[in-house]
Amino acid sequence: MQTELDAAHAAMEANPEDDAARLRFYERLADNELFLLLAGEPEGDDDIMPEVIEADGVQYVLVFDREERLAEFTERLASYASISGRGLAQMLQGQGIGMGVNLGQPSSILIPPSAIEWLVETLAHAPEEADARPTEITAPKGLPETLIAGIDRKLATAGGLAEVAFLTGVKYDNGTNGHILCFVGVKEGAEPALTRAVSEALTFSGIDAGMLDVTFVASDNPFIAQLERVGLRFDLPKPEQNAHVPGANPGMDPNKPPKLK
C-alpha cells in the first residue's frame, strides 16, 4: 500500500529539478509520525539510543513511516520509538548524523546531515505579527493552486485545533491588500500551532510568507456569516475518540525533544 511519503518521494524522484516537489517531500517527512529503530529499550522517557548504520563515512539513524515496514527491515523483534519527523530532525541537529528513511521500501532515501540542518532551519521560520486592521473582506483571488493544496494538507493534520477555516481576500486600514486565513472555534492555546502550520504551508509551497495573514474568530462572532459568503472553506478533521495524543511518545512534543544517548 502506497503511503503519502511514498507518493511525495516518487514525485520528487520523477522531477529532480522541481523545487516544489522536493519541498513537498520534506514537508511530508516533517509532518509524518515515524518509527525510529532503537538499539535497545529506552532507559527513561526522554533518553533514547537509536540504531545507527554507516554509509560512505556518514552515520544514519533508521526510520520508517509504518511499523510493519520497520519489522520487515529488521526481521526480528526490535525496540522502536514513535517520533514526528520534525522532532527527529531537531534531535539530530548539530550531531552530524543523517536519516535513513524507509530503507527497502519505494521511498527509501538517505538524508544527509546537511539536509537535516536545512530542514530544521526551514521549520524554525517564525511568522511576523502585524498591527493593521481589516476593513473589508472579499473572495480570494490569484492565489496559486500549490498554496491552496498546501494549506489543505497542513490543516488535515490539525484535527481538533479548530472547527473550520476560511480563506478570503482582505483590505486593511493602512491601504494594503492581501489574503487572510480566518480560523473559527480555535481550541484554547492552539493559536501558535495553527499559525506555524500556515507559515509552513507557505514555506513548503515555495511562496513568499508575506502573502497570507492569519486571524482567529470566536464561534459566536457574527462576522462568520460574512466569511461563509465570500471565503474558501477548509473543514478541519474532528479528533477521533481515544486517538493517540501527540507528546505521549518521545519526539511528538516539539517543546520536549528527546535526547540522544
Report residue 153 as a C-alpha cell: 494538507
**pLDDT tens digits, one per residue of 154-211:** 898 888 999 999 999 999 998 899 999 999 999 999 999 999 889 888 888 876 545 7
Find residue 183's DSSP bridge partners.
165, 216
Is 181:165 a contact under the CB 8 Å cutoff? Answer: yes
Averaged pLDDT score across all residues of the chain: 86
In this predicted structure, what is the pLDDT of residue 236? Answer: 93
**pLDDT tens digits, one per residue of 29-87:** 999 999 999 988 776 656 788 999 999 999 999 999 999 999 999 998 889 999 999 99
Q: Cell match 529506552: residue?
A: 42
Q: Could you tell me which residue, 241 or 21, shows the higher pLDDT? A: 21
Say whether pTM exceeds 0.85.
no
Instruction: Name the residue type at position 53.
Output: I
The pLDDT-based confidence of 239 (bands split at 50, 70, 90) is confident
Domains of the chain as residue ranges with CATH: 4-124+245-260 (3.40.1350.90), 134-230 (3.30.300)
Report residue 202 as a C-alpha cell: 507557505
Q: What interhelical angle do 85-92 and 19-31 show, nearest 10?
A: 90
